[in-house]
Structure 1
């Protein structure tokens, strides 16, 4: 079953290239292939944001992980509503994307995070959710919305942690005004 899905995914992905047979031959040799963008777009974001977003998006389209680049790429349907969300990555609408065969998948932990790669695995992109041949792509707005929401949440969390670090720790030296007030109160009672 997994081999049939990988074969169907390979056929679908290869059909975007000028020479699908040469593409398949390159994958059979374990090489990466430049897949032209245009029929589908790619949202590229950091691996940390990408893996968290993937948990919300489920497996509704192909997702590629580049260990060397520290990125995750979501394959999305082209959309007239191209929104730019600063800070979360980029939307690639043309150019090429280096892709391994859809049979090259990254093993995931039970939490949905990638198993740490070793050796040559650190240089080769791997599929988190490989194309399955259905042609199913993620929705651009959904991907940008989930990643943007998570990015904003992380910013707020980071700002809160920064404020907490700047406050005196519980049980530490009291602020000077409070020390002066307590000292004056004790002196007046004595």
Structure 2
């Protein structure tokens, strides 16, 4: 009797499914990730708040874990993107160190559990839809940005 071979599709990460759901073509996003590419995910149910990488990492230390959402990094571009609520643009407007991209802007994302094209999730979407709290993000960066520690001046 011949053995039966079953082919199964590997289970998708909940974060990948959540992220791809916001793509214009969710299945295409998964196919791009299967080829180790970046999928364009348009900001429709969240916005991307962009910062210089070092600034984002400094801010990360000041934001309590429970108020952090997904954070995408691209060291080659020296850039990081926080995912924030669609109404966060007004709250973050005075934060000079952030650029909040408008609704519909495409953020080119890797899958949630592995890097692609140099980008990776420091804090990946987990499928529950948690976003970074804009109040805590603004507080971590302040209107004028983080200050240089007094110890730096000797």
Q: TM-score, normalised by structure 2?
A: 0.79
1:135-146 correspondence to structure 2 within 5 Å: 135-146=129-140
Match of 2:98 among 78, 86, 89: 89
Aligned mates of 2:23, 2:96 — CA distance in 1 = 31
Indicate the residue corresponding to 2:108 in structure 1. 98
Indicate the residue corresponding to 1:151 in structure 2. 145
Q: TM-score, normalised by structure 1?
A: 0.65
Indicate the residue corresponding to 2:15 in structure 1. 9
RMSD (CA atoms): 2.6
Structure 2 unaligned segments of length 5 or more: list them.
Answer: 1-9
Aligned mates of 2:102, 2:75 — CA distance in 1 = 22
1:69-99 CA-to-partner distances (Å, cap 9, x unmatched) read 1011111112263332353121112311110
Structure 1 unaligned segments of length 5 or more: list them.
Answer: 106-120, 165-190
Instruction: After the TM superposition, list the runs of 4 or more consecutive aligned residues in structure 1 that deviate by more than 6 angstroms.
Output: none
The higher radius of gyration belongs to 1
1:54-79 CA-to-partner distances (Å, cap 9, x unmatched) read 12222631100011210111111122
Query: Across the two proteins, how many residue pairs are aligned to each other?
Result: 141
| Structure showing the higher helix proportion among its residues | 1
